[in-house]
Amino acid sequence: MSAAASWNGDDLILRVRVQPRASRNEIVGVKDDQLRVRTTAAPADGKANKAVAKLLAAYLHVPPSRIILTHGLAHRNKRFFVSGPLEIPHDLAIAMPASNGL
């Protein structure tokens, strides 16, 4: 995968770089083919993963139940599966390959 996001049918796969214990919760943007996310949550007990999933759900306008962490449970580099998003934010779409019809 060479972009921050790619399609898998109607579903989206996101490559995410997480900064835990940040000063605020925010989606920073795309850099080095990863969506950069900051969270105030600590990386212990999956708290940061849950906080990032919640941020991604709000960013993509989908319920949190549609966001699944598939790789990187204990790492900063993660991969999330998003079931059927209806909207893709413009800043993320720019990073996606043009062959996906965007």
Complete domains list, the chain, with CATH: 43-102 (3.30.1200.10)
Q: Return the HEC string of 17-86.
A: EEECCCCCCEEEEEECCEEEEECCCCCHHHHHHHHHHHHHHHHHCCCHHHEEEEECCCCCEEEEEECCCC
Question: Is residue 1 pLDDT above 50, yes or no?
Answer: no
Question: Is residue 100 pLDDT above 80, yes or no?
Answer: no
- Residue 41 corresponds to which amino acid? A
More confident residue, 101 or 4: 4
Per residue in 27-83, pLDDT (tens digit) is 999 999 999 999 999 999 999 999 999 999 999 999 999 999 999 999 999 999 999
